[in-house]
Amino acid sequence: MSKAYKWGQALTAVGLVTALAACSGGLSGPRSASSKNGKIDPSKFGLATRAQAALAANDLAGALSFAERAVEHRPQDAAFRALLGNIYLASGRFASAEATYSDSLSLNSNQPQVVLKLALTQIALGKNDQASGLLAAAQSILDPTDLGLALALAGRIDQAVAVLEPAARALGADARTRQNLALAYALGGDWQASRTIAAQDIPADQLDARIDQWLGLTKPGQKSAQIAALIGVTPAASDPGQPVRLALGGTSARVALASSAPAAPIAGPAPMPAQAALP
């Protein structure tokens, strides 16, 4: 989507904003309308497009209604299910988002952003091992910047640093990669390294606020609250789960991804340069 969600600035600050962008493709035109006897039903035209527009306007209730109807009428459309997963995630319904993203990936496993979002929901649900396995199986299609941060959120700090360090040192590395590396160090408790790296891109008068923000993410508590704070959503008081009528049977996303090719182990961290002392 071209229009950013109105969920606060936390996610943008750590660089996973692309992981929550609405899916593209297959959301407009006659393909999104259901048909009967070869004739398009005008009442179903553009359901997914309307859901995406409602999501952009932060109308989650409207977006959910349109998206669930779109999936019900086109159950084999992976993009529709990914869009519905985005809406569940924006609503703080992590269990529903997990089921929906898994269904989308079982239809089309080559969706890097959906893999990241599924891993994020699994981390929120306390399924760190499952999320780590999913990320390892899909590492060949994931951007190192996003992969590294997702690993850090899953508690795999050494693996995260191993991925992010070379990416941050590479020619043309951007601030997003460096900030994800800084956050990975913060989540691992190395505040000296975190502050030093963060200072490369954050103005001095904003650095303390950023460190305080990251400090809040490391406090003990439910993982769902940590992920919700990171992406700027409010966890749902209750989550009834994905409606049964929308469920898609078949292989789970993790199995589908893992069966495509053996996942190479993520290398250990590279030696780190000496870090400057904290002021």
**Tokens standing for 144?**
């190192």
Cα separation, 156 vs 163, whole angstroms: 11
Sequence ranges of the domains in the chain: 10-259
Tens of pLDDT, residues 133-189: 999 999 999 999 999 999 999 999 999 999 999 999 999 999 999 999 999 999 999
Cβ 81 vs Cβ 248: under 8 Å = yes
The answer to whether residue 19 scores a pLDDT higher than 50 is no
Tens of pLDDT, residues 97-106: 999 999 999 9
Q: Which of 60, 57, 119, 109 is nearest to 84 (CA)?
A: 60
Measure the CA dihedral 145/118/72/48, to 10°.
-20
CATH number for region 10-259:
1.25.40.10
Most confident of 13-22, 217-226, 248-257: 217-226
